[in-house]
Amino acid sequence: MTNPVRISSIDIMRGLTLLLMLFVNDLNMKVAPAWMGHTKADFDGMGLADWVFPGFLFIVGMAIPFALSNRLKKGDHEGRISLHIVTRTLSLLIIGVLMLNTGRVNPDLTGMSKDVWALMMYVAVFFAWNDYPEKTGRNLKTILQLIGVLALAVLAIRFRSGQPDDPGWMITGWWGILGLIGWGYLIGAFTWLLCRDSVLKILLVTLFFFLLNMLSGLHLLGFLDPVKPVLGILLEGNVPFIVLTGVTAGVMLRQHPSADSRRIIILFTVIGALSITLGFILRNWFIISKIHATPSWGMICNGISFLVFILIYWLADVKNKTGWATFVKPAGRHSLTTYLAPDILYHAIWMSGIPILIYKQSSDPLIVIAGSLVWALLMAGLTALLARINIRLKL
């Protein structure tokens, strides 16, 4: 039986993971406790920041069965949904690569500072991908979107990195955070579209990417090196594996009626505990490392995500206690706006030279943590304010 009720805990967890992402990204890790940040590449372990992004990937996967099934119910055919998936993926890849290259701008060769280039890029992204209200009118909407696209094209053409004797251009690199989400969403969305609500079929695809992740970690996929510059994220397997685990969880949730919450709570708790246990078993062969995207790290993160989600589900959807999560609703509804808007402020602040973020200069960990926490909450408030004036990104 498919659960038709909207699951509040999905929106809440998406908002919480995004706010945590803003929080850990803002922390001055020279002062904040080490357990809050990312661990080094070859360190066998993980901190809070090492779970946040896979937690977001997990919830991206969970939302896919609900979002795409709603499109089918509204009458969208598979071809139209496929176009939507591809368009959203390309948009995430483009924005992700643009963000990745902001730190590589050579001011002398580009003709503008890094902050000016980045600021203009982010503003252009909002012009191109803003969810304009109906009252805007089709012609004005097209003009505004065209301004954004043309601005991005000009910025891309002017972009230069490297040195005068060896100038360079943009690189795809690791695709940036949004690019990783894009690749994961592509696999997760098409997997659900092909398998629908078959847990077994989706699990088989999930297992395939998990095995890829293990083979990649064992360095047995060297023969695929020629295509890794483009398809490396998929061949590495880790990102699709995490997203597909979320897709599987979403399908399980849809198949349990809301009145039967006890069963899903037990199921997710057991899966979460087993995933963490398996992750530590895999530690015998693969260190726990976010940077290396090891299978042990991915499995442990999935286990944590199951447990965190089921706690939120119990509070929000079983006990109907959602008031505590009011502050994350804007971030959950407009996640892309919440993620990108702070970067506009960062570059504007850096460009001004005014030391506004004074908490970052403190040597007191409590002040540093409190400052970054306030910053993340203010960004959620900024998102709500922008939404009220019809500035909200939608891919």
Is 156 exposed, middle or buried, given 0-12, 13-18 or 19+ CB atoms closer than 10 A?
Answer: middle
pLDDT tens sequence across 60-69: 999 999 999 9
**For 358, which DSSP code?**
G
Helical (H) or strand (E) element with 335: helix 335-352
pTM of the entire predicted model: 0.94
Residue 4 clears pLDDT 50, i.e. is over it: no
Residue 7 clears pLDDT 90, i.e. is over it: no
Mean pLDDT over 210-234 rounds to 94
Contact 22, 52 (CB under 8 A): no
Looking up tokens 């685990």, which residue turns up? 245
- Taking the alpha carbons at both ends of the chain, their separation in whole angstroms is 31
pLDDT of 153 reads 96
Residue 383 clears pLDDT 90, i.e. is over it: yes
For residue 45, the one-letter residue type is G
The percentage of residues in the chain with a pLDDT greater than 70, rounded to a whole number, is 98
Mean pLDDT over 8-13 rounds to 92
The whole-chain average pLDDT of the chain stands at 93
Q: Residue 128 is encoded by which pair of tokens?
A: 């191109």
Three-class SS state of 63: helix
Mean pLDDT over 75-81 rounds to 92
Strand residue runs (E) in the chain: 161-163, 166-168
The neighbouring-strand residues paired with 130 are 393
Our separate counts of H helices and E strands in the chain read 15, 2
pLDDT tier at 259 (50, 70, 90 boundaries)?
Answer: low
Residue 2 clears pLDDT 80, i.e. is over it: no
Mean pLDDT over 34-46 rounds to 91
Could you tell me which residues come within 8 angstroms of residue 300 by beta carbon, excluding any fewer than 6 positions away? 46, 275, 276, 279, 280, 288
Helix, strand, coil fractions of the chain, as percent rounded to 5:
75, 0, 25
pLDDT of 25 reads 93
pLDDT of 5 reads 55
CA 272 vs CA 304, 310, 366, 385: distances in Å = 6, 9, 32, 37
Mean pLDDT over 92-110 rounds to 95
pLDDT tier at 95 (50, 70, 90 boundaries)?
Answer: very high
Angle between helices 48-73 and 176-195 (to 10 degrees): 40
CA 249 vs CA 246, 256, 270: distances in Å = 5, 11, 13
For residue 333, the one-letter residue type is R
Mean pLDDT over 317-330 rounds to 88
Query: Measured between alpha carbons, how far is 44 from 41 in angstroms, rounded to an integer?
Result: 8
pLDDT tens sequence across 138-161: 899 999 999 999 999 999 999 999
Mean pLDDT over 6-26 rounds to 92
Domain ranges of the chain: 8-73+197-388
